[in-house]
């Protein structure tokens, strides 16, 4: 039986084992898929050991996606742009790295009827999560992509990486007042997960703004609670993105495209 795992820290609450076993049922294949706790300092030795022990593929979650990017011998174009890897597998004993986060987000937005072309998108946060989804968002012919971060230098760095090929990217100060209508606000900060308050630019929630929190929880995320209190009616968390990025990883490993319909709902109940 082929062996797979998701690695990260903390990892015990990961839904990836459940998602991949649902996909394996659809594909009618037998796999094992575990959640394995690995801390950043142990990444190289532990991952080397897992592949030596016969694991065929690994999903990588927080805080290890940048480590995985540097570890992979061969990186996809998408991973190179995002400087992030969430899927590792072997090809002729070389470790290949791919990121499916950005495409997972796009697929989920599409399934929720959120049209990106021509829209104004604002990302809150400029850490690894923002970095990993920005190239995909920029591939959608959006009108503008603004980044606001508590530490402005990090937002400026992300803007600099992409500005030359994507002039629609720009930075907004965290204490700025916004006067353009934002179509989609994406929260990529870890404030909610850390249980911290977060500041955000004034005026980001307009009449037609939708909100998408990259993190997810059984209950409404703290960010989506703020969005709803500000009048937002369409607020989504990142569970749909998680399902879609998992489906894309599954397809890479098993050459089978899982049907994601209904999986998000099933995980919520
Ligand atoms: P991840 O991989 O989840 O993106 P990260 O790389 O540590 O994690 O980035 C976390 C992001 O959340 C950063 O943009 C961080 O802002 P700073 O760059 O200023 O540290 C943001 N963040 C974390 N806690 C926050 C808070 N309480 N308010 C606002 N932003 C916060």
The minimum-distance atom of ligand 1 relative to the CA of 151 is: 19
Six token digits for residue 39: 């801390």
Q: Is 188 in the pocket of ligand 1 (CB under 6 A)?
A: yes
Mutate-to-test residue for ligand 1 from 125, 149, 241, highest number of ligand atoms within 8 A of CB = 125
Residue 102: predicted pLDDT:
98
Q: Which atom of ligand 1 is nearest to the CA of 65?
A: 2
Domains, the chain, ranges and CATH?
2-99+240-268 (3.40.50.10860), 115-233 (3.40.50.720)
181 CB less than 6 Å from ligand 1?
no
Q: Is 237 left (phi over 0), alpha (psi -120 to 50) or beta?
A: beta
- Per-residue model confidence (pLDDT) at position 122: 98
Which residues are marked as active site? 65
pLDDT at 38: 98
Q: How far is the CA of 259 from the centre of ligand 1 (A)?
A: 33
C-alpha–C-alpha distance, residues 192 and 262, integer Å? 26
> What does pTM read for this prediction?
0.97
Segment-wise mean pLDDT, segments of 10 residues, the chain, 269 residues: 97 97 98 98 98 98 97 97 97 96 98 98 97 97 98 98 97 94 97 93 96 95 97 97 98 98 95
> Which atom of ligand 1 is least distant from the CA of 129?
4
* pLDDT of res. 33: 98
174 CB within 6 A, ligand 1: no
Distance separating alpha carbons of residues 110 and 107, to the nearest angstrom: 5
Q: Is 36 near ligand 1, meaning CB less than 6 Å away?
A: no
Can you give the pLDDT at residue 170?
Answer: 98
Instruction: Copy the structure tokens of residue 24.
Output: 């394996």
CA distances 243 to 100, 108, 119, 161, Å, are 11, 9, 24, 28
pLDDT at 97: 98
pLDDT of residue 144: 98
Instruction: Return the beta strands (E) in 38-188 as ranges.
Output: 55-60, 74-75, 87-91, 94-98, 120-124, 144-148, 169-171, 184-187
């Amino acid at each position: 039986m082929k062996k797979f795992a998701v690695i990260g820290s903390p990892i015990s609450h990961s839904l990836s084992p459940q998602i991949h076993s649902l996909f394996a049922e659809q594909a009618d294949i037998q796999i094992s898929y575990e959640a394995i706790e690995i801390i950043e300092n142990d990444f190289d030795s532990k991952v080397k050991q897992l592949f030596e022990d016969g694991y065929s593929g690994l999903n990588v979650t927080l805080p290890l996606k940048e480590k995985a990017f540097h570890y992979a011998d061969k990186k996809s174009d998408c991973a190179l742009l995002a400087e992030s890897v969430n899927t590792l597998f072997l090809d002729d004993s070389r470790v290949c790295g791919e990121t499916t986060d950005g495409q997972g987000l796009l697929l989920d937005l599409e399934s929720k009827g959120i049209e990106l072309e021509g829209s104004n998108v604002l990302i809150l946060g400029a850490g690894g999560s923002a970095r990993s989804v920005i190239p995909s968002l920029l591939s959608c012919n959006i009108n503008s992509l603004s980044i606001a971060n508590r530490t402005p230098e990090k937002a400026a760095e992300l803007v600099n990486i992409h500005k030359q090929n994507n002039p629609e990217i720009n930075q907004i100060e965290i204490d700025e007042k916004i006067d353009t209508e934002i179509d989609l606000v994406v929260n990529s900060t870890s404030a909610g997960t850390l249980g911290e308050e977060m500041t955000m630019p004034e005026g980001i929630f307009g009449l037609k703004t939708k909100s998408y929190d990259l993190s997810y929880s059984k209950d409404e995320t703290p960010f989506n609670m703020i969005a709803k209190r500000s009048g937002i009616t369409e607020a989504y968390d990142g569970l749909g993105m998680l399902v879609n990025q998992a489906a894309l990883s599954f397809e890479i490993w098993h050459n089978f495209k899982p049907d994601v319909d209904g999986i998000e709902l099933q995980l919520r109940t």
